[in-house]
């Protein structure tokens, strides 16, 4: 969908030709000065409409307005969350209809802030997306253009900023959804690498792709063990976004890229196994984030790492009990071949060390246990560094792409002990999302690290089955914040320098 911003008076807006005018109606009393305002005032007075989030009232060719359709959409207090619900609800009504051009105005919604404009753009673009790649005919028609109306130059300034960020984000989210939605035979490791290479044409982005030989040379025995059961060759994708000085330490994003997860020899049950095409949503979110970075050009360096392969059973497949040597040198007993995500991620985390990163964030559809713990509302977030955890939490709140911090107590690692290797790849059923994170943590010892388990948030099941594009919003928000602040290490140095003598963490008995 295309977006634009226009500044016009209420009277001018009433004379504006458009397929549908969506008026966001908040709690401030409506004036009576123009046709739209008086329509709203009458509907409210007659109690045919309420300014509550989710409430809609539609009219066809109403008197005094040039728009073919007018939809009043309640937004309550006008929070970005309510704006999002209102746009989603209004757009639902245009599905399969004749509406191509939607005009959105803040009738008396709330202040024209950048957050509001961003919410409008993101909800509009989310609703307008429909998957078509492997259909012979396109799905139901949706609007292709959205105009957001500001009533003054000052309002336009605030809205424009949010709209620009929103449009950049929407491009990233759409790319993530698109690749995540493609079935596994249309999104193989090789095709995923092709999508990454295409990003390499954009400003500031470079892409390297490693194949089986190079990965073997690096000693990624754990990643290779997962890939050995399939005919599809693995790919290790390395993306670079350079927006700051070459010497500036990058943030590294690592995305799980299992293009299909059958479980391997520890095979999964048939029901809903098709959804395991979404097991590369972490990888898709990294691609989407780079797409948005190319638009936004923040002053920051970012590296993206994607270990991509299929997890299949077969004559060559890795077997329960097999012991492999990871790139870190640690040996791993693979007790369950379905716990493959951590096996590909651990080698990517070791590979990340060479960039001397300021922070590493991995993103993975890692455990069914995380779906049980947090459902589809918040992604699971684990972190070895409080500042990084806080930054990710805040980024989630600001972008409405929520996460929740989970524990990493050492006791949770007990179940990963084995007699036959340095570590086992699974513990018991209890706290499965945490024990998976504890496994990864062993490979993330030389940098501040966080892990996002997006198993519950990356896609929707059932009638609305499809990728959500999460957590691209969270990641981009976090990276934009990082572009404006010193690295964690520099931050703690500054803190130490400014703290009074003797108040630091270097006191006797502090083992940190």
As annotated, the active-site residues are: 268, 342
DSSP 457: T
Shorter beta-carbon distance to ligand BES: residue 147 or 188: 188
- Minimum distance from residue 365 beta carbon to ligand BES (Å): 5
Residue of 62, 48, 68, 122 whose CA lies nearest to 91: 122
462 burial (CB, 10 Å; 0-12 / 13-18 / 19+) is exposed
Residues 268 to 297: which contact Zn ion by CB under 5 A? 279
Should residue 367 be labelled a site residue for ligand BES when binding is judged by CB under 6 A?
yes
Minimum separation from the CB atom of position 289 to ligand BES (A): 20
Interface with Zn ion (CB under 5 A), residue from 341, 357, 415, 448: 341
Of 188, 365, 379, 399, which one interacts with ligand BES (CB under 6 A)? 365
Residue number of the CB atom closest to Zn ion: 261
352 makes contact, choosing from Mn ion, Zn ion, ligand BES, none, with CB < 5 to 8 Å by partner type, with none
Dist. CA 197–CA 317, nearest whole Å: 29
Query: Near Mn ion by CB under 5 A, which window of 172-180, 219-227, 254-262, 288-296?
Result: 254-262
Q: Give dist(CA 128, CA 92) in Å, integer.
A: 9
Q: Does 261 contact Zn ion by CB under 5 A?
A: yes
The distance of closest approach from Cβ of residue 262 to Zn ion in the complex, given in angstroms and rounded to an integer, is 9
Indicate the Cα dihedral angle 380, 381, 384, 385, nearest 10°: -160
> Helix 114-128 crosses helix 80-92 at what angle (to 10 degrees)?
30
CA gyration radius for the chain?
Answer: 25
Query: How many chain residues bind ligand BES (CB under 6 A)?
Result: 16
User: Binding residue for ligand BES (CB under 6 A) from 287, 339, 402, 431?
Assistant: 339
Selected range binding ligand BES among 73-81, 142-150, 332-340, 495-503, rule: CB under 6 A? 332-340
In 14-47, which positions are buried (b, 16+ CB within 10 angstroms) versus exposed (e)?
bebebbbbbbbbbeeebeeebbbbbbbbebbeee
Crossing angle of the two packed helices 386-399 and 488-498, in degrees rounded to 10: 120
Query: What's the closest the beta carbon of residue 126 comes to Zn ion, in angstroms?
Result: 25
Cross-strand pairs, 253: 304, 361
369 binds, among Mn ion, ligand BES, Zn ion, none (CB under 5 to 8 A by kind): ligand BES
Can you give 197-255 as a three-state secondary structure string? HHHCCCCCEEEEEECHHHHHHHCCHHHHHHHCCCCCCCEEEEEEEECCCCCCCCEEEEE
Among 261, 295, 347, 477, binds ligand BES (CB under 6 A): 261
Kindly tell me which of 347 and 477 has the beta carbon lying closer to ligand BES: 347
Q: Of the two residues 204 and 368, which places its CB atom closer to ligand BES in the complex?
A: 368
Confirm if 17 and 23 have CB atoms less than 8 A apart: no
Backbone angles phi, psi at 487, to 5 degrees: -60, 160
**Other CB atoms closer than 10 Å to residue 260's CB: what's the count?**
22
Residue whose C-beta lies closest to Mn ion: 338
Distance CA 510, CA 512 (A): 6
Q: Which is nearer to ligand BES, 25 or 371 (CB)?
A: 371
**End-to-end CA separation in angstroms for the chain:** 51
Beta carbon of residue 179, minimum distance to Mn ion (angstroms, whole number): 19
Applying CB under 5 A, which part among 185-193, 241-249, 258-266, 485-493 lies near Mn ion?
258-266
Scanning 78-86, 110-118, 359-367, 390-398 for contacts with ligand BES by CB under 6 A, the matching segment is 359-367
Helix (H, G, I), strand (E, B) or coil at 6: strand
Q: How far is Cα 34 from Cα 276, in angstroms, rounded to an integer?
A: 53
In the complex, minimum distance from the CB of residue 423 to Zn ion, in angstroms, rounded to a whole number: 18
Q: Which residue number, 261 or 401, has a Cβ lying nearer to Mn ion?
A: 261
Q: Which is nearer to ligand BES, 109 or 369 (CB)?
A: 369
Query: Footprint of Zn ion on residues 44-73 (CB under 5 A)?
Result: none
Nearer to Zn ion, 165 or 266 (CB): 266
Footprint of ligand BES on 401-460 (CB under 6 A): 426, 432, 455
* 261 belongs to the binding site for Mn ion (CB under 5 A): yes
Nearest Cα to 453, choosing from 400, 386, 383, 503?
383
Stretch that binds ligand BES, among 45-53, 60-68, 192-200, 360-368 (CB under 6 A): 360-368
Taking CB under 5 A as the criterion, the residue among 178, 295, 310, 338 binding Mn ion is: 338
The smaller minimum CB distance to ligand BES, of residues 90 and 427, is found at: 427
Q: Please state the closest distance from residue 20 (CB atom) to Zn ion, in A.
A: 42
Structure token digits, residue 382: 């684990």
Instruction: Give CA–CA dist 269/278, Å, rounded.
Output: 16
Residues at the site binding ligand BES, with contacts judged by CB under 6 A: 261, 279, 336, 338-341, 365-369, 371, 426, 432, 455
Residues at the site binding Zn ion, with contacts judged by CB under 5 A: 258, 261, 279, 341
């Amino acid at each position: 969908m295309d977006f634009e911003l226009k500044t016009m008076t209420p009277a001018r807006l009433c004379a504006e030709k458009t397929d549908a005018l969506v008026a966001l109606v908040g709690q401030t009393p409506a004036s009576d000065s123009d046709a739209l305002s008086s329509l709203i005032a009458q509907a409210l007075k007659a109690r045919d409409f309420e300014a509550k989030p989710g409430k809609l009232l539609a009219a066809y060719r109403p008197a005094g307005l040039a728009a073919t359709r007018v939809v009043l959409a309640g937004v309550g207090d006008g929070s970005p969350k309510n704006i999002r619900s209102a746009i989603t609800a209004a757009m639902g009504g245009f599905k399969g209809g004749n509406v191509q051009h939607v005009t959105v105005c803040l009738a008396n919604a709330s202040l024209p802030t950048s957050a509001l404009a961003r919410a409008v753009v993101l909800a509009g673009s989310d609703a307008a997306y429909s998957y078509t790649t492997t259909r012979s005919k396109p799905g139901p028609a949706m609007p292709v253009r959205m105009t957001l109306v500001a009533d003054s130059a000052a309002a336009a300034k605030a809205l424009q900023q949010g709209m620009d960020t929103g449009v950049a984000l929407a491009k990233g989210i759409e790319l993530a959804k698109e690749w995540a939605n493609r079935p596994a035979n249309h999104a193989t490791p090789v095709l995923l690498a092709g999508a990454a290479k295409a990003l390499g044409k954009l400003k500031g982005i470079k892409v390297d792709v490693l194949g089986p030989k190079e990965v073997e040379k690096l000693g990624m025995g754990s990643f290779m063990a997962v890939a050995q059961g399939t005919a599809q060759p693995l790919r290790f994708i390395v993306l670079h976004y350079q927006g700051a000085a070459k010497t500036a330490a990058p943030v590294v994003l690592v995305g799980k890229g299992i293009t299909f997860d059958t479980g391997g020899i520890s095979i999964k049950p048939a029901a809903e196994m098709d959804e395991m095409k979404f097991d590369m949503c972490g990888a898709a979110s990294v691609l989407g984030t780079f797409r948005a970075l190319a638009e936004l050009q923040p002053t920051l360096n970012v590296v993206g790492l994607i270990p991509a392969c299929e997890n299949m059973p077969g004559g060559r497949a890795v077997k329960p009990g097999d012991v492999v040597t990871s790139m870190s040198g640690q040996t791993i007993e693979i007790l369950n071949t379905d716990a493959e995500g951590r096996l590909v991620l651990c080698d990517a985390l070791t590979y990340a060390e060479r960039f001397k990163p300021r922070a590493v964030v991995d993103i993975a559809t890692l455990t069914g246990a995380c779906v049980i713990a947090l459902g589809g509302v918040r992604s699971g977030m684990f972190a070895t560094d409080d500042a990084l955890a806080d930054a990710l939490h805040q980024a989630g709140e600001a972008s409405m792409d929520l996460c929740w911090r989970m524990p990493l107590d050492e006791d949770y690692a007990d179940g990963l002990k084995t007699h036959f290797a340095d570590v086992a790849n699974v513990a018991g059923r209890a706290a499965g999302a945490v024990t998976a994170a504890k496994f990864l943590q062993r490979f993330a010892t030389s940098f501040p690290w966080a892990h996002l388990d997006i198993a519950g948030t990356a896609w929707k099941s059932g009638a609305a089955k499809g990728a959500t594009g999460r957590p691209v919003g969270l990641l981009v928000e976090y990276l934009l914040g990082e572009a404006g602040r010193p690295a964690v290490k520099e931050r703690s140095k500054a803190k130490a320098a400014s703290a009074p003598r003797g108040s630091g963490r270097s006191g006797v008995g502090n083992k940190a």
